[in-house]
C-alpha cells in the first residue's frame, strides 16, 4: 500500500456519513456539543466512537489557526535545572490540553532564533527558558508569536524570573556571619542574565556588609567545568565561594576532594538552584533553593492567560537559603 500498511484513519466525513448528518454538524457535535441537539449529539458521538475517529490536528490547525502546541526552548536538556522547568511546563500544558514541543537550543542564541523562527507557524506560543538571545531579537520574535521568558525579563514580554536577589542576601549574610571576609563568585555563561544579576546582588551587599567580593572568569554551568572553577577559586585565596549554579558546585566538590581540600573546613561553598542531587552529594550542598518547577508552571499560565500579550505579566519568584553541609566557619 501507499502508506506502508497503515490504514487511512476515519475523517469527519466518514463519521458524518455513518451518523447521517453533515460534516459541519459532526464538527460541532464533537468540539462544541452544546451547540447541537442532544439527540444528534449522541448519534454523532457514538458514530465517532465506533469508527475510532481521532481529529486530525493539522487540518484543524490549518482551518482554525489554533495549533494546540506550545514550544518550550531550553539551553540544555542535560541540565537538571531545566528538567525542573520542563517538568513544570509539561504538567501545566497537559492540564490545559496543550502538547509540549521540547527544543534544546544548545546554549546558543543563533539556535534559539533559527528554531523559533521555524516553529512560529506550528505553535500557539513559546516559552523561552533563560534565552541567550539579545533583547532586540526577543522583542522581534515576540511580535511573531506569543512568548514568555524565564529568567530573562524584558519590557513588553511576559516573563517569570526566579529572583535570587533575596536568596543571595540570605546567603551572603550566612557566609559573613560565619566570619568569611573574602567571598568569590563563580559566574555562569557570559550571556546569562541570571548570572549577571547574582553578581550585582553580591557586589551591592559589599556596601553594607564587611566582606570583599571578587570573581573568577566565567564557566560553563556544568559539573565538568567545576574542576577548572575549583582551581580558580583556590587561587583567589578566598575562604568562601558562591557559584552560579549547583552543577558547578558539585563539580567543584569533586575537585576539592581530589585535591584534599576539605569542605567546609578549608573552604565554604554556596550553590544556587537546589537541583536534583544537591541534597545527596558529598557533603550535601548549602544552596539557594529555587522554585524551579513552579517557574515552568507559572510561565505556562502567563502564556495561556494572556496569549496576545496585551498586558504582559512579569512574575517574580523568590528563592531562599537552604543550609546543608558545605558552609562553615571561616579559617576553622
Residue 33 DSSP class: G
Nearest partner of 176 among 132, 208, 150, 141, judged by Cα: 208
Between the two ends of the chain, the Cα-to-Cα distance in Å is 77
Residue 104 interacts with a second copy (CB under 8 A)? Answer: yes
Residue 143 interacts with a second copy (CB under 8 A)? Answer: yes
Only one of the segments 33-41, 85-93, 172-180, 206-214 lies at the binding site for a second copy (rule: CB under 8 A); that segment is 85-93
Order of strands, sheet of 268-273, starting from the edge strand that comes earlier in the sequence: 212-215, 182-186, 240-243, 268-273, 286-289, 320-322
- Supply the Cα-derived Rg of the chain in whole angstroms: 25
**Cell digits for 269?**
561553598
**Cell digits for 316?**
517574580
**Cell digits for 289?**
533553593
Residue 149 interacts with DNA (CB under 7 A)? Answer: no
Question: Which phi and psi (to 5°) does residue 149 adopt?
Answer: -100, 155
Only one of the segments 32-40, 88-96, 199-207, 263-271 lies at the binding site for a second copy (rule: CB under 8 A); that segment is 88-96
Among 46, 50, 64, 206, binds DNA (CB under 7 A): 64
Among 46, 49, 50, 59, binds DNA (CB under 7 A): 59
Nearest partner of 202 among 249, 170, 159, judged by Cα: 170
Residue 215 DSSP class: E
* Nearest CB to DNA, comparing residues 60 and 182: 60
* Nearest CB to DNA, comparing residues 11 and 166: 11
Binding to a second copy (CB under 8 A) within 9-48 occurs at 9
- What contacts 31, CB < 8 A, 6 or more positions away? none
Binding to DNA (CB under 7 A) within 16-35 occurs at 20-25, 27-28, 30-31, 35
* Nearest CB to a second copy, comparing residues 179 and 283: 283
β-pair type (286-289, 320-322): antiparallel
Binding to DNA (CB under 7 A) within 163-182 occurs at none
Among 5, 6, 52, 63, binds DNA (CB under 7 A): 63
* Nearest CB to DNA, comparing residues 35 and 262: 35
Only one of the segments 12-20, 119-127, 160-168, 233-241 lies at the binding site for a second copy (rule: CB under 8 A); that segment is 119-127
What is the DSSP code string of 67-133? --EEEEEES-TTSHHHHHHHHHHHHHHHHTT-EEEEEE-TT-HHHHHHHHHHHTTT-SEEEEES--S
Output the smallest distance, CB 260 to a second copy, in A.
17
Among 39, 143, 208, 310, binds DNA (CB under 7 A): 39
* Nearest CB to a second copy, comparing residues 22 and 144: 144
Residue 80 interacts with a second copy (CB under 8 A)? Answer: yes
* Nearest CB to DNA, comparing residues 50 and 56: 56
Task: Tell me the C-alpha distance between 307 and 260, whole Å.
Answer: 54
Task: Tell me the C-alpha distance between 305 and 312, whole Å.
Answer: 10
Residue 319 interacts with DNA (CB under 7 A)? Answer: no
The answer to whether residues 226 and 247 touch, using CB atoms and an 8 Å cutoff, is yes
What residues make contact with a second copy under the rule CB under 8 A?
A: 3-7, 9, 54-59, 61-62, 65, 67, 69, 77-78, 80, 83, 86-87, 90-91, 94, 99-104, 117-122, 143-146, 223, 250, 253-254, 276-277, 280-283, 307-310
What residues make contact with DNA under the rule CB under 7 A?
A: 8, 11-13, 20-25, 27-28, 30-31, 35-37, 39-41, 53, 55-56, 59-60, 62-64
Amino acid at each position: 500500500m501507499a502508506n506502508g500498511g497503515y490504514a487511512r484513519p476515519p475523517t469527519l466525513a466518514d463519521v458524518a456519513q455513518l451518523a447521517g448528518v453533515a460534516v459541519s454538524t459532526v464538527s460541532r457535535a464533537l468540539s462544541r456539543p452544546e451547540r447541537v441537539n442532544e439527540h444528534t449529539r449522541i448519534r454523532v458521538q457514538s458514530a465517532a466512537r465506533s469508527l475510532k475517529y481521532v481529529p486530525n490536528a493539522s487540518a484543524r490547525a490549518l482551518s482554525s489557526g489554533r495549533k494546540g502546541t506550545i514550544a518550550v526552548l531550553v539551553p540544555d536538556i542535560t541540565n537538571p535545572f531545566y528538567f525542573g522547568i520542563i517538568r513544570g511546563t509539561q504538567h501545566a500544558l497537559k492540564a490545559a490540553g496543550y502538547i509540549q514541543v521540547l527544543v534544546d537550543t544548545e546554549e546558543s542564541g543563533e539556535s534559539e532564533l533559527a528554531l523559533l523562527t521555524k516553529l512560529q507557524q506550528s505553535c500557539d506560543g513559546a516559552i523561552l527558558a533563560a534565552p541567550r538571545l539579545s533583547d532586540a531579537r526577543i522583542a522581534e520574535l515576540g511580535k511573531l508569536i506569543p512568548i514568555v521568558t524565564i529568567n530573562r525579563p524584558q519590557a513588553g514580554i511576559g516573563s517569570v524570573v526566579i529572583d535570587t536577589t533575596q536568596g543571595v542576601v540570605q546567603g551572603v549574610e550566612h557566609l559573613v556571619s560565619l566570619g568569611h571576609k573574602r567571598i568569590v563568585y563563580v559566574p555562569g555563561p557570559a550571556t546569562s542574565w541570571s548570572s549577571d544579576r547574582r553578581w550585582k546582588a553580591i557586589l551591592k551587599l559589599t556596601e553594607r556588609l564587611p566582606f570583599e567580593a571578587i570573581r573568577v572568569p566565567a564557566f560553563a554551568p556544568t559539573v565538568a567545568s567545576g574542576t577548572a572553577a575549583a582551581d580558580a577559586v583556590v587561587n583567589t585565596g578566598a575562604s568562601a565561594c558562591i557559584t552560579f549554579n549547583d552543577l558547578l558546585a558539585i563539580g567543584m566538590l569533586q575537585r576539592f576532594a581530589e585535591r584534599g581540600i576539605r569542605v567546609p573546613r578549608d573552604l565554604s561553598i554556596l550553590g544556587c538552584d537546589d537541583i536534583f542531587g544537591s541534597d545527596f552529594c558529598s557533603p550535601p550542598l548549602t544552596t539557594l533553593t529555587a522554585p524551579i518547577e513552579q517557574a515552568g508552571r507559572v510561565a505556562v499560565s502567563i502564556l495561556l492567560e494572556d496569549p496576545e500579550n496585551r498586558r504582559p505579566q512579569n512574575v517574580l519568584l523568590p528563592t531562599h537559603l537552604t543550609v546543608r553541609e558545605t558552609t562553615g566557619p571561616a579559617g576553622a
